Amino acid sequence: MKKNETQGAYTSVKNRKSKKVIFSKASGASSRGGFENDKNRFRTIWGIALVILCMLIGRAFYLQVANAQFYQDKGDELITSKRTQKSYRGMITDRNNLPLAVSAPLATVSFSPHDYAREYYEIKRVKVANPDSPKLQAQMQKRLDNMDLTRLAAASNMPLAKLQKATAIDDSIDVTDADAVKVALPSGAGSHYLPLLNKVTPEIAQSVSDLEFPGVYEKNFFQRFYPQPQPNAQLLGFMGQNADDPDGGYEGRAGIERQYETELAGKDGKVLILKDAKQNSLKEIKQLEPEIAGQNVALTIDSRLQYLLYKELEKVGRSREALWSTGMIVDVQTGEVLALSTWPSFNSNNLNEMTGENQRNRAVLDVFEPGSVMKPFTVAAALDSGKYTTSSLIDTNPGSIYVKGYTIRDHDNLGSITMATLLQKSSNVASTKIALSLPPDAISNMQRQFGFGTKTPLQFPGEGRGSIVTPKEKELSRRATISYGYGLQVTLAQVAQAYSALAAGGVMHPLTLIKSDKPQPSKRIMAHEQAMSIVQMLEAVTAPGGTAVAAAIDGYRVAGKTGTSRRVNPEGGYYTDQYRNVFAGIAPASNPRLVGVVLVEDPRGQYYAGVTAAPVFHNVMKEALRLYNVPLDKPLQTK
């Protein structure tokens, strides 16, 4: 043992070296070599960690600083949304503040059987998944009790059986199985939208919305309503859906609704609302854009006269089987349009009645050859030239005149006549002789002076301009025809404006449809004496022997002029059996207050304006003078 112990304790140098070598190999490396390797690994790990840390910091900077707004907006989109607050559209009223167009607040309440069933199964699942929570069980059961379809059926007056069939609740399915629930949810037509209340007042809709019933949605909007639809249909226009509005809003598409769309519409508001996970609105967070209500637009129209005018136009249109009829009443002193209507019309509250023909505002949009209603302006050109006076005689013998290949005739041989007789008997021959005796542009210039050939200040959407042609020196036939109303195009609104200027003593008051406290600028276009002398001459037209005796009104002196012209044949020339009747009148003639113009297109049976259009003027103007308390200027006739 000692020997062995000695050998274990003491060995030769050789043996010790060998053991040292063997020990070194076993240890794997020297102490210096192990430290260097560990330091390299340490640096590598910290380098990688530092790179990752820089990437995280860079990403955080990108998300929270550089692009913070973008991700904040994305986050807001998940929990918030912007809701449009529809502005209240302004009213359109008549001159006495009676409503002609109003916006009524309405609501539509709908039910989504799919959303209801999804909510129902979700509550059932929560109950099943939490059997050990009595408080949660009670809460879920209370929500189920509130989802009783009997409550919804009673509030909405919807049959309970219909609601139960739509929701198709199956209490036998495993509500913890998502696939089974998905199959059980209602699908197909009506599964997401079942109307409960359609276009009802907000008060009626509130009885359902106050239930806070799952799957019930309310949509509020304004619907335009017209209390006096037919008489005002073409004037006021109508509303149509705006294709550029994502919310499917409506805008004015014709008439006053379109012309004053900006003023009437106002501006919709924007509200930021908070949503839950199912995209249901929880509450309003803040007002983003204020709602600006539309302005009211007051018209110069008198709804009483408007109704009366329309009924008379309808009466003559139906009795004479005319294509259409239209008319206007204008206040001479201001240029305000008191009535403007066209027959046939349509119900503005039911656009299914509207057609391309009955929606036209004929008095403003349509142009036509006016015929003899232009003769007063031929007389005006004659007086203005200085070659003629009110007592000048014009020889019309033998009742016709030959001009450049055309024969122009009167109904009778009137002989030598005055200007007053020219207007009373509506002499084409006398008008032609005046035209040929004046410079070629004399009559057309006078017509332009009275507003023909340019749009009226009404600036109505689609308003017609008409056309006035200045004939050349050698165009004798054209110079003749424009003197008695052929070869030119006008609108009835231009005729009303021109006769109003005559009645105002040669002062042009711009036509207006908008009531304003500020007087419109006017201009003198003719000497007062000359204008009033023409008005006095026009009294003979409604006196015995004139062409419009039916326009006379008992107790008032009435001036006026008829126009019976042939309708243009699209294939060339004029129809021989189709006519256009126009009458323009002024009352009372001694101190003009009102002008009325009436047009009847292609009446059957009687085709003279004195028989068709003049009676309409008589019936409407008689009531207008009474309504406005215009004093009598002529003794009443005794029977």
Active site residues: 372
The answer to whether 370 touches 495, Cβ cutoff 8 Å, is: yes
Distance of alpha carbon 240 from alpha carbon 237, whole angstroms: 10
Q: Three-state SS for 122?
A: helix
Length of the chain as a residue count: 639
Residue 292 β-bridge partners: 267
- Phi then psi for 587, rounded to 5 degrees? -150, 145
Computed over its alpha carbons, how large is the radius of gyration of the chain? 44
For residue 245, give every residue at least 6 positions away whose Cβ sits within 8 Å of its Cβ, in sequence order, or none. Answer: 251
The answer to whether 562 touches 606, Cβ cutoff 8 Å, is: no
Measured on CA atoms in the order 411, 417, 420, 421, is the torsion positive or negative? Answer: negative
Distance of alpha carbon 487 from alpha carbon 467, whole angstroms: 9
User: Cβ of 59: how many Cβ atoms within 10 Å?
Assistant: 10
User: Cβ of 629: how many Cβ atoms within 10 Å?
Assistant: 6
CA-to-CA dists, residue 305 to 231, 260, 311, 627, angstroms: 10, 23, 10, 9
The answer to whether 602 touches 579, Cβ cutoff 8 Å, is: yes
For residue 47, give every residue at least 6 positions away whose Cβ sits within 8 Å of its Cβ, in sequence order, or none. Answer: none
> What one-letter code names the amino acid at 523?
K
The answer to whether 508 touches 522, Cβ cutoff 8 Å, is: yes
Exposed e or buried b per residue across 447-472, where buried means at least 16 C-beta atoms within 10 angstroms of its C-beta: bbbbbbbebbbbebbebbebebebbe
For residue 431, give both structure tokens.
Answer: 């008008």
Instruction: State the first-to-last Cα distance of the chain, in angstroms, to the nearest integer.
Output: 174
The answer to whether 449 touches 433, Cβ cutoff 8 Å, is: no
* DSSP designation for 171: T
- Phi then psi for 187, rounded to 5 degrees? -145, 170
Distance of alpha carbon 490 from alpha carbon 483, whole angstroms: 14
Distance of alpha carbon 263 from alpha carbon 279, whole angstroms: 35
Distance of alpha carbon 101 from alpha carbon 504, whole angstroms: 32
For residue 281, give every residue at least 6 positions away whose Cβ sits within 8 Å of its Cβ, in sequence order, or none. Answer: 81, 83, 273, 274, 275
Q: Three-state SS for 488?
A: coil
The answer to whether 354 touches 249, Cβ cutoff 8 Å, is: no
HSE-CB of 226 using CA atoms within 13 angstroms: 21
For residue 561, give both structure tokens.
Answer: 């002029």
